[in-house]
Amino acid sequence: MTIAIALNTDCINNLDLSPASTVISQLLQEGAIASHEQQLHFEINYSQDPSDPRELSEIPEVRLWFLRLDARYPWLPFLLDWKAGELVRYVAMLVPHQFSEKEGIQYNPEALEIFLMQRIFILSDWLKQQGIPNQFRLKSMAQLLGYDLDDALFEMF
């Protein structure tokens, strides 16, 4: 089952998190977070001039909305539909990057590494609190972003 969160220009420009908060709050109240792993995606309908070549992740207002969302729900990558590209798009909203016609999205390597390690620490603690095994999930997330994490890292914390 996929869970869609619809975003429009008004909610983005007003930093209104209610479309996401409503869905996430319901999952939290139902105690259903674990059963909705990798099911969330965003339907973004942001008005932009047809001649504007920018991707959504290059628009400051859209990025700011996602930064605010991430500050409220730093464990959100757990819910994102990784197979549908939601994790990669989410990371693009938060991490400086460039687009290449040949290679696609190119993240700033240092910024991506900092983002990834922060997520590993946040998600590790959060998953433990939820009683959800975490090492495989975290290693899979890192691999999706081009990193291989050594098991020894997890023994450190």
Q: Which amino acid is at 125?
A: D
Cβ-proximal residues to 45 (8 Å cutoff; 6+ apart), any chain:
6, 7, 8, 9
Q: What percent of the chain has pLDDT over 90?
A: 76
Taking the C-alpha atoms of residue 23 and residue 25, their distance in angstroms, rounded to an integer, is 6
88-114: per-residue pLDDT in tens? 999 999 999 988 888 888 899 999 999
1-42: per-residue pLDDT in tens? 799 999 999 999 999 999 999 999 999 888 878 889 999 999
